[in-house]
Structure 1
């Protein structure tokens, strides 16, 4: 399987079939029984700073420091990834994600939909060549799902390789260039 720059591949299948496990394997946080994951023809090693710089992922609940606001978290991530002009990038992400009113709140106080958008902010504020997402539509209303489809198409257009697991057939149809069906 190849996910080339500027393309999106969707993983679809019933709950429990291994989509999330596959994504964790691609990320390098869970070993595969066989096969390899290559980035630029080199085996992916999540300990490698170049890999961490290239691969952004939203495949589990975003951990949050209890004493940092939404804005402070995103600024920390942007700075950690050497994002140019991090304050401007964070402000733009908060605006795009409709999180400006919640920017100074603690993540634990956010609604489930706001927490989902906060997690999106974690990859929006950093450079990325590869984007891994596990059911990104979860906890989003119709407007949020429309935004997500548009954003993922924009990621493709910017040359990002997108690999995502989804149960949302409309999202898959709108975004994916290829679909991989996983089943038991």
Structure 2
């Protein structure tokens, strides 16, 4: 059961959710994405109720979940090209090339999902989410399955999105990712927020 959580994100803020497995991080992210309905209270995005079925909301929110969901018959490049076309990414071909480079997938651009390692699949999901325009980025343990070099690239990419004005809410088990990216950290335990504040202070406690 997730107990009442009162959380407000400012535009352009990055907030990290920390806590052990089962503490409520993923549930809170699903509620924020509109994929689960709260039993009480409201989830609002830019003043309006969050609704994943609303195309105006879907167009402004990018989500990276805990499932390796890719189109099985598309190569990595084709997957990103579809995202670019579907979301009207300017100069789509160049943007796809840049995404493949940024996520270490240039050498695997023509590979199908079944030919990619789990870490490469995670990179593809991250590349797809970061490629599309978004105001709010929701990530559930985006560092999972990534090696140390890829986690470092991820931290740089998320910090860049925050600097560009996107709002980030992400769950993580890696303190270094929270320290490198987040403006604020929430520590969850059994659905309760037990600590909240600047990363250095919360992580030290």
TM-score, length basis structure 2: 0.86
Any idea what SS the aligned residue of 1:11 has? strand
For structure 1, list consecutive stretches of 5 or more residues without a partner in the other structure: none
Task: Map Cα deviations across residues 40-75 of structure 1 (whole Å, 9 max, x no partner).
Answer: 211111111111110000013242222211110111
Match for 2:141 among 135, 155, 174? 135
Show the counterpart of 2:65.
59
Match for 2:52 among 31, 46, 52? 46
Q: What RMSD over aligned residues (CA atoms) do the two structures have, in Å?
A: 1.1
Any idea what SS the aligned residue of 1:164 has? strand
Match for 2:173 among 157, 167, 172? 167
Superposed, 1:93-108 pairs within 5 Å as: 93-108=99-114
State the alpha-carbon separation in 2 of the partners of residues 99 and 42 from structure 1.
Answer: 37
Match for 1:36 among 31, 34, 42? 42
Any idea what SS the aligned residue of 1:171 has? helix
State the alpha-carbon separation in 2 of the partners of residues 65 and 177 from structure 1.
Answer: 34
State the alpha-carbon separation in 2 of the partners of residues 142 and 68 from structure 1.
Answer: 27
Moved more, 31-40 or 99-108: 31-40
Any idea what SS the aligned residue of 1:36 has? coil
Indicate yes or no: 2:181 matched with 1:181: no
Contact 2:84 2:96 in 1 (8 A): yes
Contact 1:5 1:156 in 2 (8 A): no
Show the counterpart of 1:12.
18
From the superposition, tell whether residues 62 and 84 of structure 1 become closer, same or farther in structure 2 (CA, over 3 Å).
Answer: farther
Query: How far apart are 1:97 and its partner, in Å?
Result: 0.7
Contact 2:66 2:141 in 1 (8 A): no
State the alpha-carbon separation in 2 of the partners of residues 3 and 79 from structure 1.
Answer: 30
Indicate yes or no: 2:86 matched with 1:80: yes
For structure 2, list consecutive stretches of 5 or more residues without a partner in the other structure: 1-6, 191-205
Query: How far apart are 1:145 and its partner, in Å?
Result: 1.3
Contact 2:29 2:140 in 1 (8 A): yes
Number of matched pairs: 184
Match for 1:23 among 29, 32, 44? 29
Show the counterpart of 1:68.
74
Task: Map Cα deviations across residues 113-147 of structure 1 (whole Å, 9 max, x no partner).
Answer: 11110111111221011000011111111111111
TM-score, length basis structure 1: 0.96
